[in-house]
Chain A
Amino acid sequence: MSETNPNPAPDSTPKAPAAPVAAAPAKPAAPAKPISRGDFLWAGWSMLAAFFAASAAAGARFMFPNVIYEPSQKFNAGQASGYDLGVSTKWLNEQRVWIVRTPSGFYAMWARCTHLGCTPNWWGDQNRFKCPCHGSNYTLDGDVIAGPAPMPLWRTKVELAPTGDLIVDKAVLENKPGKREHAPYFANYASA
């Protein structure tokens, strides 16, 4: 190591003896090294590390698909006049949505437990949605009253088309009281 030390400390060359040797011949300048061995190794290892880091990042990015083929979140729930007051489970099996008709209109809830994503069941006799996976309970409004769920059920966008059909869009969601009771999460529908 000491033999090839590329950067000798400033005082490592022996000092000239105290007696002044005025005519000491100037040493020929050391040949300029393009890069020292240590720097070269540093650069090499750094590049290798950068290569591995970039490969890891590229590998991680690779796992995120750019195009996914999933069904549309929007569907036609049929004529609004076809629904009775209360919770309809008509679309549960196909679209995972409950349509709830109140005296003043409609709202639709995504039937996905906000805890870990199971589908709760509607128990009309107890006026509750109950999740079969960890026992979360929700009221008709979607608020949690028992079990581990951290927040209310999501309501979906619901619109009344000019044809009288209810159009539900599960991609647009809201669950905050105060917001979820208004358009577009609530479709006014005067009972005829």
Chain B
Amino acid sequence: MPTLDIEKIKKEVVDSQLWRSVFRGGVWKDTPRDRAGHIIGNVWLHLHPVKVRPRALEWLYTWGMGGISFALYLILTLTGVALMFYYRPTIGLAYRDIKDLEFAVTLGMFLRNAHRWAAQAMVVAVIAHMVRVFLTGAYKKPREFNWGIGVLLLTLTLFLSFTGYLLPWDQLAIWAVTVGTNMAGATPVLGNEGPLGSLVGMRINNDVRFTLLGGTMVGENTLLRFYVMHCVAVPLVVGILLILHFWRIRKDSFSAAPYVANEEKVDVWPHLVKREYIAAAATVLFIMVWSILQNAPLEAIANPNVTTNPSKAPWYFVGLQELLVYFDPWIAGVVMPGLIIVGLIAIPYIDTNPKGVGYYAWKERPFANTLFMLGVFMWFALIYIGYALRGPNYAWYWPWEDWLMPKAAPPPTWSVFGPHGVAAYSMLLGIPLMGAVAAAWMLLPKLIQKELDGKKTMGAFLGAVALVAAVGMALGKMGPIEGAFLLFFTGASFYYGFVLPQRHIRALDWPRYLVTMVLVISTMSVLLKMCARLAFNIKYVLTIPSISMNF
């Protein structure tokens, strides 16, 4: 009786000309040579080295976030291409096609959910990847340039999200893009509503906003432009940068971790590739479960004339939306995001501390870690405020307050220095005063060469602020809540913006020191302006309306 000899069939299949023509390498004997050959001989795997340092495999060291970001990018590409088969980017059809995807296309709802949730997960994963790389000092020499590419990839991840959410053509879409492109319209010089814009001849139909929109309002051209950017142009750029990013990682020996004596490298196949597959599989599973359990939001069809109340950006941009409450659009929408991007790219070049490369080093890198994590924390604090504490009319609602409860009209705002400020001549007073404060803040931490006693300095500063608050309360100009706000925000700004730089970076050379202080003071100005607006209704500290210079 002939039995089925599985081993014999397997051998015949594997030894056949067809199989051998596809999978090279002969019989797999799991020797080091086989493992190396598997990496070198495979076009998809050969961006890996053959061997890798064991530290590069540790979950607790890498968090696996770079690989997971890439897995999400692949999920987004696949689901995105699928969605394109049923989506037409015109005003009359876009929203209906999304509805069809939800209710009339097999798996349409699932694919749209997966695309939406993978996009949000990718934002989180990329930010987490950046935080990990920062905390382990993995951006330091020779990896400075790759950190910069990473920052660009983070920016493009956010831009892909931004261009993607116009496409459903619902209320969220149109108003998010209206606000976003109007920020572009507030760009200094290049935007018709930005400082100096009208002076150089920018109008509503020839500025940078006009090219983004392909018109003077969000319309047919805008939808098409965002569609092309979202589906083709930006993914192409991201792909090119990803290749560069991966190539550099490999050339820089895959891990910044310090060498230990007698360190022996391990084979990438199977040790690293196995982990990558597990991470990718877990990511796919996570996105699938999430997409089954929760449907992607879709608001009412876009109405270019009426805004929903309140109208909020997707969560990762709500921090920016909240920032726009405190600063003029050209500052909050253009200069500050620009400073964040340029500042992040500049970090490896201004951080001269040689310690802490490849391991978590809170003690050895107190200034860099503290300020970076403060920035990350502030970004998420702003997101929390915008997401959870803003209700109808974008008024402040505490979590225990009902949105149906009408809020009293907010009190009128005022400006400290400016034409409608404390006095008619106040601009003449305000400009030198603001300049002097800014210059002293910029220079003093470096000019005071003796290290200040942190506790005494903070005590003296908080005492002075408390005195001001007490006088203010005695004069009836502020209540205890305003006093507490003043103490907290100015105290935090003084500690992070003056005491820490004085202690840690006063020995830095002047160019690096000045760049660092510009970034530090810009960060602190957010805290100070929030305090001024929330507690004291100050709209601008200094305003020169004729040239749109408002701070």
A146 within 8 A of B: yes
Known: A117-B182, A148-B328. A70 touches B393 (CB 8 A): no
Whether B182 pairs with A93 at a CB distance below 8 angstroms is no
Whether B210 pairs with A133 at a CB distance below 8 angstroms is no
Whether B220 pairs with A132 at a CB distance below 8 angstroms is no
Whether A132 pairs with B308 at a CB distance below 8 angstroms is yes
Inter-chain contacts of A37 with B (CB < 8 A): none
Whether A116 pairs with B183 at a CB distance below 8 angstroms is yes
A115 within 8 A of B: yes
- Most central of B206, B220, B305 by chain A CB within 10 Å: B305
Contact-residue bracket for chain B = 35 or more
Whether A147 pairs with B325 at a CB distance below 8 angstroms is yes
Within 8 A of B (CB), among A145-187: 145-148, 150-151
Whether B394 pairs with A132 at a CB distance below 8 angstroms is yes
Within 8 A of A (CB), among B507-542: 537, 539
CA–CA, A150 and B410, complex, Å: 17
CA–CA, A108 and B16, complex, Å: 82
B49 within 8 A of A: no
Whether A132 pairs with B311 at a CB distance below 8 angstroms is yes
CA–CA, A128 and B321, complex, Å: 22
Inter-chain contacts of B392 with A (CB < 8 A): 132
Closest to A118 in B: B307
Closest to B396 in A: A135
Whether B309 pairs with A126 at a CB distance below 8 angstroms is no
Within 8 A of A (CB), among B207-226: 210-211, 214-217, 219-221
Within 8 A of B (CB), among A78-133: 92-96, 111, 115-121, 123, 126, 128, 130-133
Inter-chain contacts of B324 with A (CB < 8 A): 115-116, 134, 148
Digitize B142-186: 1 where CB-to-A-CB distance is under 8 Å, 0 elsewhere: 000000000000000000000000000000000100110011001
Within 8 A of A (CB), among B373-417: 390, 392-395, 408-413
Whether B412 pairs with A145 at a CB distance below 8 angstroms is yes
CA–CA, A130 and B179, complex, Å: 16
CA–CA, A164 and B249, complex, Å: 74
Contact-residue bracket for chain A = 35 or more
B306 within 8 A of A: yes
CA–CA, A147 and B329, complex, Å: 12
Inter-chain contacts of A150 with B (CB < 8 A): 328-329, 545, 548, 550
Nearest CB in chain A: distance from B163 CB, A: 15
Digitize B452-474: 1 where CB-to-A-CB distance is under 8 Å, 0 elsewhere: 00000000000000000000000
A68 within 8 A of B: yes
Nearest CB in chain B: distance from A119 CB, A: 4
Inter-chain contacts of B328 with A (CB < 8 A): 148, 150
CA–CA, A132 and B308, complex, Å: 7
Closest to B393 in A: A130
Whether A131 pairs with B393 at a CB distance below 8 angstroms is yes
B435 within 8 A of A: no
Whether A147 pairs with B413 at a CB distance below 8 angstroms is yes
CA–CA, A121 and B306, complex, Å: 9
CA–CA, A119 and B306, complex, Å: 6
CA–CA, A13 and B545, complex, Å: 69
Inter-chain contacts of A121 with B (CB < 8 A): 309, 393
Whether B305 pairs with A93 at a CB distance below 8 angstroms is yes
- Most central of A63, A93, A95, A111 by chain B CB within 10 Å: A63
Whether B394 pairs with A133 at a CB distance below 8 angstroms is yes
Known: A131-B393, A133-B394. A146 touches B410 (CB 8 A): yes
Whether A68 pairs with B221 at a CB distance below 8 angstroms is yes
Closest to A120 in B: B307
Known: A63-B211, A64-B211, A133-B321. A126 touches B550 (CB 8 A): no
Known: A68-B214, A92-B306. A133 touches B221 (CB 8 A): no
Contact of B394 among A63, A92, A134 (CB under 8 A): A134
CA–CA, A64 and B539, complex, Å: 36
Whether B179 pairs with A133 at a CB distance below 8 angstroms is yes
Contact of A132 among B215, B217, B309, B326 (CB under 8 A): B309
Whether B410 pairs with A111 at a CB distance below 8 angstroms is no
Within 8 A of A (CB), among B111-170: none
Contact of B179 among A92, A118, A126 (CB under 8 A): A118
Nearest CB in chain A: distance from B18 CB, A: 48
A65 within 8 A of B: yes
Digitize A43-82: 1 where CB-to-B-CB distance is under 8 Å, 0 elsewhere: 0000000000000000010011100111000000000000
B303 within 8 A of A: yes
Whether B548 pairs with A132 at a CB distance below 8 angstroms is no
- Most central of B306, B327, B537 by chain A CB within 10 Å: B306
B92 within 8 A of A: no
Chain B residues near A (Cβ < 8 Å) = 175, 178-179, 182-183, 186, 205-206, 210-211, 214-217, 219-221, 303-311, 321, 324-329, 333, 390, 392-395, 408-413, 537, 539, 545, 548, 550
- In the A-B complex, the 9 residue pairs with the smallest Cβ-Cβ separation, listed nearest first, are A135-B394, A132-B309, A130-B393, A96-B305, A146-B410, A117-B182, A116-B182, A118-B307, A119-B307
Identify 20 new A-B residue pairs, CB closer than 8 A, beyond the known A65-B214, A68-B205: A65-B221, A68-B216, A70-B217, A70-B219, A92-B306, A116-B178, A116-B182, A116-B186, A132-B309, A132-B394, A137-B409, A147-B394, A147-B413, A148-B325, A148-B327, A148-B328, A150-B545, A150-B548, A150-B550, A151-B545
